[in-house]
Structure 1
Amino acid sequence: MAFLDRIVTGAALCLLGTGIAQAQEVTLRIGHVETPQSTTHVMLEAMAEAVAAGTDGTLALQIFPQSQLGGQREMTEAVQFGALDATAGPVAFMGGFNPVASIMDIPFLYPADAEKAQAIRDAGFADAFCESFNELGVTCIGLYPNGTKQFTSNAPIARPEEFSGQTFRVMESMVLVEAFRSLGVTAVPIPFGELYTALQTGIVDGEENPLDTIYNMKFFEVQEHLTLSWHGAIENVILFNPAVWSGLEDNHRAAITAALDETIPEMIAHKAAAGEASLRKIREAGLTVHELSEDELAQFRAVMFPAGRDAYLERAGDKGRAIFEVYRAAYDKVMN
């Protein structure tokens, strides 16, 4: 309510004797769960600078990292009910809030090539995916990539058949459980904070995460093999409270969306650089690293993608099937 009061007050103010409204000065709070060093935080800070410049300082984005305003579920609900202006959140944490979001759990949803993956988003998939949130009391203004998962294990994992009989930690998702089952893997949802110990003690053989996470969380210390599979999409959405978003001036909304569009390529480059630096350090630590060829990637996709797709479509209902059709059309347009 305080935010809306500021809008109404700002709109009503006029320069005495001229009838010309003063420029609004608005500050929006955006929360996220990642660290100040994360790609998401770097991107949001860059967006804030661009927005301030593009609005002559009349609009400010105040960024709160590392769950300062609550966990992702709490922040999503706060945005929904108007206690928080916006959040930049991992789609992986939103399957309970929006079942359609679980499409991102399907392995090999995007190709390994980052430009082709972005072309699929830009071919209508990102817009349709964002729109699926808008019936849930939030306004999604953008989808952006935040890394790609790789496989690690204490046993060889260079070929699909080598996974059979292993146990892998996955996030709590039946799409992931069924996709890994297609490789003969027992997939176990384990809290992220317990993963290092689970790997160290052999409760699970392996896991999946982006390269910078594998390095920063020191999972490489308790793993022997890394396969560069580029199989799992880590995607984020930026969600605004609908009243806040619709209450902004047109030029303020335009400045935010333009800043997001301009920042995404920089964000992709930042995440890629972090991954490359992490991979160098992982190699130096002595892990056996296998880089999959295009044919090998196709072999993995042929096994895991159909299993993940079917598990998703079985649970996602009509809206999920509609989103999948948009995805398939975008994928075929880019890849065929």
Structure 2
Amino acid sequence: MNHSIRKLAATAVLAAAGAAFASGAWAAEFVAKIGHLESTQQSRHVHLEKVAELVAERTDGAVEFQIFPQGQLGQQREMTEGVQLGTLEATVAPAAFLGGFNPAISILDIPFLLPEDEEKAQALRAGAFGQALCDSFDTRGVECLMLWPNGRKNFTSSKPIAGMEDFSGQKFRVMDSNILIEQFNALGASAIALPFGELYTSLQTGVVDGQENPLDTIRAMKFYEVQDHLVLSNHGAMEDVILFNTAFWNGLPENYQTIIVDAFREVIPDLIAHKQAAVAASLEEIKAAGVTVHELSPEEKAAFREAMYPATRAAYVERAGAEGEELIALYEQEYAKLSE
């Protein structure tokens, strides 16, 4: 290699090193890969990126979050197990996907669990109940930082469902959860556990009459093409759980832990607003498709909750045992305070 070529090669190496240093690639003391299932446009990913920026800024680049969306690191079960085993530093997981890993979290399947008012709902997440729910992951070998809101479910059907009595005799698709099955049994309906990928065809062919999902999911999956009726019930909490590998978390300096927790909590109002904007746009598209929409009044929601709560509560306690008994008692105590 002649002198000029060696000089060019050396210059290129120095330039690459400078770029890497400037980007923080070599500056981070702690690097956390964080996997999740949503697309880059959805609320979870957008706000994970915001958290990553805040953490990098407030630790002077010492902590770097690398976000991997859309199941790039595996399905949720694989990511959760990766966090437990230490092959992945963190995941932000839908609570509904964690019931097999931690039965206590299935309390979030109970309909109308969270207050309708977002401030009260956040008070429940951030208070003694949310903390106890997070603490239930300690015995499962992972560190739960907090619950993160990700919208609420609504009912759709090919048949009228404006009143509670309309649900009787109808068949609804649910995720594989005894609590969700009991939710529909309490209304005189039947529930069939089906994979999400089969739902559109099952609605189209009449295998099931209806389903429950957030409005942005209903829009994205075009369920409104095969459903004529929508009830704006906001009955099901779609909560995310922020899970870190315990060894990684415990290896962080305490001030970095505080910065991370504060960053996740700080973006929650923007996260809720982002989700609500997506929901509002989805509702307009669903209405434009000619779907009949009925919004439950506060009185109707109270009646639905009264009808469904006892059976779903019992199904949860049966699943989660003594741990579930303690959590549900704490929940009811905290919920009563917020309702005063």
Q: How does the TM-score come out when normalised to structure 1? A: 0.92
Letter of the structure 2 residue corresponding to residue 248 of structure 1: L
Query: Which residue of the partner structure matches residue 282 of structure 1?
Result: 286
Q: How does the TM-score come out when normalised to structure 2? A: 0.91
Matched, 1:218 2:222: yes
Alignment of 1:1-336 (within 5 A): 25-336=29-340
Moved more, 195-204 or 306-315: 306-315
**Alpha-carbon distance in structure 2 between the residues aligned to 1:140 and 1:69:** 19
Displacement of 1:189: 0.6
Letter of the structure 1 residue corresponding to residue 95 of structure 2: V
Displacement of 1:24: 5.7
CA contact (8 A) 1:164 1:183 kept: yes
Query: Which residue of the partner structure matches residue 4 of structure 2?
Result: none
Moved over 3 A (4+): none
Letter of the structure 2 residue corresponding to residue 77 of structure 1: E
CA contact (8 A) 2:158 2:209 kept: yes
Q: Percent identity?
A: 58
SS state of the match for residue 150, structure 1? strand
**Alpha-carbon distance in structure 2 between the residues aligned to 1:232 and 1:283:** 21
**Alpha-carbon distance in structure 2 between the residues aligned to 1:160 and 1:309:** 19
Letter of the structure 2 residue corresponding to residue 280 of structure 1: E
SS state of the match for residue 61, structure 1? strand
Displacement of 1:330: 1.2
**Alpha-carbon distance in structure 2 between the residues aligned to 1:158 and 1:304:** 17
**Alpha-carbon distance in structure 2 between the residues aligned to 1:231 and 1:298:** 10
SS state of the match for residue 135, structure 1? helix
**Alpha-carbon distance in structure 1 between the residues aligned to 2:68 and 2:252:** 20
CA contact (8 A) 1:121 1:330 kept: no
Structure of larger gyration radius: 2
Displacement of 1:205: 0.3
CA contact (8 A) 2:28 2:61 kept: no
Displacement of 1:183: 0.6
Letter of the structure 1 residue corresponding to residue 283 of structure 2: L
Letter of the structure 2 residue corresponding to residue 212 of structure 1: D
SS state of the match for residue 290, structure 2? coil
Unpaired runs of 5+ in structure 1? 1-22
**Alpha-carbon distance in structure 2 between the residues aligned to 1:27 and 1:242:** 14
Moved more, 244-253 or 222-231: 244-253
Letter of the structure 1 residue corresponding to residue 137 of structure 2: F
**Alpha-carbon distance in structure 2 between the residues aligned to 1:240 and 1:123:** 20
SS state of the match for residue 248, structure 1? coil
Letter of the structure 1 residue corresponding to residue 123 of structure 2: A
**Alpha-carbon distance in structure 1 between the residues aligned to 2:319 and 2:55:** 39
* 1:120-176 alpha-carbon deviations (Å, 9 max, x no partner): 222311111100011101010111111100000011111111000000000000011
How many residues are matched?
315
Unpaired runs of 5+ in structure 2? 1-26
Displacement of 1:254: 1.4
* 1:16-48 alpha-carbon deviations (Å, 9 max, x no partner): xxxxxxx86221100011111111111110100
Letter of the structure 1 residue corresponding to residue 96 of structure 2: A
**Alpha-carbon distance in structure 2 between the residues aligned to 1:242 and 1:316:** 23
Displacement of 1:195: 0.5
SS state of the match for residue 207, structure 2? coil
